[in-house]
Structure 1
């Protein structure tokens, strides 16, 4: 089981209350939220230049899809989880290997997905 303590995370979520809840869960799991952004433009900027270990990405950001951010993260070989109310149905084939967390979720479900993501990536998110 991967130790999540001290891992830095980028949170991309457009709903303020949901973002706060996610941040709280991540902190309870021992992670450090380095940035929490709500728009596609800010998410793209953070994905390109910020230092973090993984990201949690809401798929729909006020009508804009987060997939350009996922492409940036893929290019940087940084692991991420999609967080969505639509389930895997809204995830393109090019991201079929990625974890999807269905909203709403519990801290236990978040922890399980993070463990699964890190056991799959094992240091190399995308070969």
Structure 2
């Protein structure tokens, strides 16, 4: 497991308040960097150019699914967690096995989920 202090986290979230909350939580638990992107395109550009160790992905980005981002993360063996107001029920078949946090969530849930996924990877 990587140390949280070494992690470069990508958050893909189209709701500004949730993005800021996630950024604050991840910085508070000791992640090295947190970058928030709001669209599929900007997230894919970021993944292509920067180091990403872990990602949190809102399933629905302004009406568009974040699955292209998840596919790219899978290709690069980068772990991620989906975020959704619908919980795991919002996932399609190819990603139905993925870890999902249901909105609204508490800071401790984010910390726990990140820790669990990092131990597993």
TM-score (norm 1): 0.87
Q: Tell me the equivalent position of 2:22.
A: 22
Q: Does 1:56 align with 2:66?
A: no
Q: Tell me the equivalent position of 1:81.
A: 81
Deviation at 1:31, TM superposition (A): 0.9
Deviation at 1:116, TM superposition (A): 1.6
Q: Is the alpha carbon distance of 1:75 and 1:18 closer, same or farther for their aligned partners in structure 2, counting shifts above 3 Å?
A: same
C-alpha distance in structure 2 between counterparts of 1:4 and 1:62, whole Å: 30
Q: Tell me the equivalent position of 1:36.
A: 36
Give a deviation string over 1:66-115, Cα, whole Å, max 9, x none.
00000000000000110111100111222233210111111111111112
Ranges in structure 2 where 5+ consecutive residues have no aligned partner: none
Q: Does 1:11 align with 2:18?
A: no
Matched residues, number = 121
